[in-house]
Structure 1
């Protein structure tokens, strides 16, 4: 058999974190004489940080290109046949091929594969209502979206912004618009912002955002987006009120982009994401892998599948997929659900289960909430923080931690993320040998103060 006949083709759908990490890792393991790699990306950019878009829009990151880790040209220099502005419209599993359409010309063609990687990401949830597609209404999922929003801001004379939704994207975009000098109103259908936190911790975020001059409207469902005579957005309406808007940013969240996979008959979970095994192989399919925002992942604390759209997971998925597709071996065991965010100087962090997650998983638990400071109380600029901890009743196993505070609060959640991954009890946590000096923490770190209090509560339960 000649060398060309033995060459396999790996096709990758999606040119961002998971897809191009997979392509790059596979290329490290196998040269172009053994493995041909073809990647399709429907947008203008590859390998970029979607998580950085709010900071680019807000002006903290000056140039768009700083968010791009690797350009199409850099990928092509590594013998990856990367086809930009090309959208895959069909996966033909039976015949091992994909149909792709050139976005600009409309021309369609089929490409066969021996191995397939689905890394189609997630799409922003757009409300199904009048005016949702009007000029001046923006989602912020891709660099193309971010550029469209900045272009829109440059044309906008008014200075009123309404952000719909108060999750990570919502609070980060509220900060971005404040930094741009806009009057900001956040309309949120939940009782408090940040539904990834318990409501008592979300309340701290609410109070802090109002203190920054952001108008918070909770328990409010947007019913329509109103437009002016020029067709542009002019206001956001709920059943109770109208909020004038020169620009609207949608931060309602995302859904897995799995329409292609569903049409191909591939297995989806309860959240609409692709289901994979530990090697990130699509369940039931030997030569198809999936990763990034289009898959569901195992929550190691609850044992249930979740959809979490984060760049950290996407890059790890890509590494695992690339190793396996390139003939090596790797697995992705799951997540504990760690995330950090900020709005101006307020840091927001969480890992593990919320109270409602624990209840849904059938767990009995105790909770404690403590207030402490980021540094020794007497040290300059010691900032307050609130730590909430959940522990399993009787066993004392750590179930979750939420932290809201100023500088130094957010990354403390990593202590809890490690403890959760290791299956530690709160009592075991109290003995952790964490770094201490007055500029960095009180003698008892806030996370350990919470662990001590939780230990006492577990014993009493």
Structure 2
């Protein structure tokens, strides 16, 4: 009797967080005799922390390999056929197969599948403008991108860097370049950095960046990148000015990498990401799953679909997909939009909705801002902290929280993330039994101080 007669084949497109988490979880569920797993990765690396790239570039992480969670050899030792430097160029949904190309040799071949996982990630936004593809211009999304940037920084004689965009990646890369001894200018089309915050909170980030010696240029749209006689980038131009640059980093943001999915006719949402059900199965396709930065997720606060590129979500998606592919059952209910970052010792955190998100969702709300401290005021090294909180008018339901401060500020946002998930009101939050001692917080934690103020605002709004 042929023991492999009933063996299924799982094909995974993408060898990072979501894809390899799915492959690994599926392998835990089913052995090689039941399930063959083939994974394709077009880059040189798999299973790495893309979120750690700015800290590697800046020198906080010493070696590239520290960002790699599991090598290709380790995956193969677990009977996962991981094929590196192999790019999938076509998905044939009707035929149940994918076409892949060896990046180095150009050789192409088809691989059939019984079950397919799409984990193609996201790609940095590269604006359509002159000079954007010149040497010295870098997007930072993959470990290959990070290596290319470090190589460029090593070869570059000049010490002037321009970061285009001031979102999470832009802000983190600006700090990384400062740490490397570069003179850094950030050109941002928004009124303040960190558009994931309301502008009044973004202003605090702006001030901190200037305190580091970073030149902030807000309300400025980049029109072109200028190149020298050698073809390498030499400046970033806006309508009003030119900013000399020996290296340029694009921190404008990312888009879902769904080129393959679009060509295959798979369903995409308003943000260009794949649409899935709660089990992370692509809608309308029984044997195709998708996860990570290439999908859209449900925002539990607004009830709308969003695209959020975060490794936390990607790993959860992979676990859920792998469980379902292996015959189990798991679901991903959605997100509340929690994120943290830092500029030097300034911690930046947000969860839930900004003011403009709430308005877009048709919600009426009260917004309050409080100033507090990270520890009891009399305790050494206490530092200021600003908390902004949004609550739904009439019901008092928590809608969003933004926190900017020094040590101890960032992870306080997790209190709000849990409260949002539980659909708590700000009045209910005031009674939360949070840990207290002078080295950790004032008697009233800053988040609870904000909740008290928001609760009063809601009551007065009746």
Superposed pair shares fold, TM > 0.5 = yes
CA distance in 2, matches of 1:450, 1:391: 10
Tell me the secondary structure at the aligned position of residue 9 of structure 1: strand
Per-residue deviation, residues 316-338 of structure 1 (Å, max 9, x unmatched): 00000000001111000000000
**Distance apart, 1:208 and its partner CA:** 1.3
CA distance in 1, matches of 2:7, 2:261: 26
Alignment correspondent of 1:256: 256
Equivalent-residue separation in structure 2 for 1:337 and 1:433 (angstroms):
24
> Where do 5+ consecutive residues of structure 1 fail to align?
none
**Structure 1 position 232, deviation (Å):** 1.1
Shift of 1:228: 1.0
The CA deviation at 1:211 is: 1.4
Q: Where does structure 2 lack aligned partners over 5 or more consecutive residues?
A: none
For residues 97 and 135 of structure 1, the distance between their equivalents in structure 2, rounded to whole angstroms, comes to: 37
Residue 221 of structure 1 deviates from its aligned partner by 0.5
Deviates further, 387-396 or 207-216: 207-216
Q: How big is the shift at 1:180?
A: 0.4
Following TM superposition, by how much is the alpha carbon of 1:179 offset from its aligned partner in structure 2, in angstroms? Answer: 0.4
Q: Deviations over 1:141-192 (max 9, x none)?
A: 0000000000001111111110000000000000000100111100000111
Counterpart CA distance in 2 for 1:98 and 1:148 is 29
Distance in 2 (alpha carbons) for counterparts of 1:211 and 1:194? 16
**How many Å separate the matches in 1 of 2:268 and 2:179?**
40
For 1:292 and 1:406, the matched residues in 2 are separated by 30
1:90-127 CA-to-partner distances (Å, cap 9, x unmatched) read 00000100000000000000000000000000000011
1:96 corresponds to: 96
CA distance in 1, matches of 2:232, 2:96: 45
Aligned partners of 1:228 and 1:222: how far apart in 2? 18
Aligned-partner Cα distance in 2 for 1:344–1:224? 30
Match of 1:114 in 2: 114
Corresponding position of 2:442: 442
TM superposition shift of 1:369:
0.1
Q: Matched residues in 2 for 1:100 and 1:20: separation?
A: 18
Report the CA distance between 1:266 and its aligned residue.
0.3
| Count of aligned pairs between the two proteins | 461
Aligned equivalents of 2:404, 2:159: Cα separation in 1? 29
Q: Distance in 1 between matches of 2:337 and 2:273?
A: 16
Query: Secondary structure of the equivalent of 2:418?
Result: helix
Per the alignment, residue 237 of structure 1 pairs with: 237
Matched, 1:284 2:281: no
SS of aligned partner of 1:386:
strand
- Give the Å deviation of 1:13: 0.1
Residue in structure 2 matched with residue 75 of structure 1 by the alignment: 75
Q: Which residue of 2 aligns with 1:133?
A: 133
In the alignment, which residue of structure 1 is the partner of 2:314? 314
Displacement after TM superposition at 1:212 (Å) = 1.3
1:231 Cα deviation from its structure 2 partner: 1.2
Matches of 2:230 and 2:384 in 1, distance apart? 48
Q: 1 CA distance for matches of 2:183 and 2:346?
A: 19
Q: 1:420, 1:89 → 2: CA distance?
A: 40
Shift of 1:233: 1.0
> Take 1:183 and 1:346, find their aligned partners in 2: how far apart are those partners?
20
Cα shift readout 1:300-349 (whole Å, capped 9, x = no counterpart):
00000000000000000000000000111100000000000011111110
- Alpha-carbon distance between aligned partners in 1 of 2:226 and 2:384, rounded to the nearest angstrom: 41
SS of the equivalent of 2:9 reads strand
Q: C-alpha deviations, 1:241-288, integer Å up to 9, x for none?
A: 000111101000000000100000000000000000000000000000
Bigger mean CA offset, 222-231 vs 411-420: 222-231
Aligned-pair distance for 1:2?
3.3
Matched residues in 2 for 1:78 and 1:112: separation?
A: 21
Distance 1:437 1:183 in 2: 42
Secondary structure in structure 1 of the residue aligned to 2:47:
coil
Q: What secondary structure sits across from 2:149 in the alignment?
A: helix
By how many angstroms is 1:218 displaced?
Answer: 0.4
Structure 2 CA distance for aligned equivalents of residues 383 and 418 of structure 1: 25
Query: 2:178 and 2:405 mapped to 1: Cα distance?
Result: 19
- Corresponding residue for residue 420 of structure 2: 420
Once the two structures are TM-superposed, the CA of residue 230 in structure 1 deviates from its matched residue by: 1.4
Q: In the TM superposition, what is the alpha-carbon distance from 1:3 to its structure 2 partner? A: 2.1
Task: Describe the SS at the equivalent of 1:32.
Answer: coil
Shift in Å, 1:407: 1.0
Q: Distance in 2 between matches of 1:161 and 1:373?
A: 35
User: How many angstroms apart in 2 are the aligned matches of 1:436 and 1:137?
Assistant: 48
**Cα displacement (A) at 1:194:** 0.4
Q: Equivalent residue for 2:66?
A: 66
Q: CA deviation at 1:207?
A: 1.2
What root-mean-square deviation, in Å, do the aligned CA atoms of Structure 1 and Structure 2 show? 0.6
Cα distance in structure 2, aligned partners of 1:343 and 1:243: 22
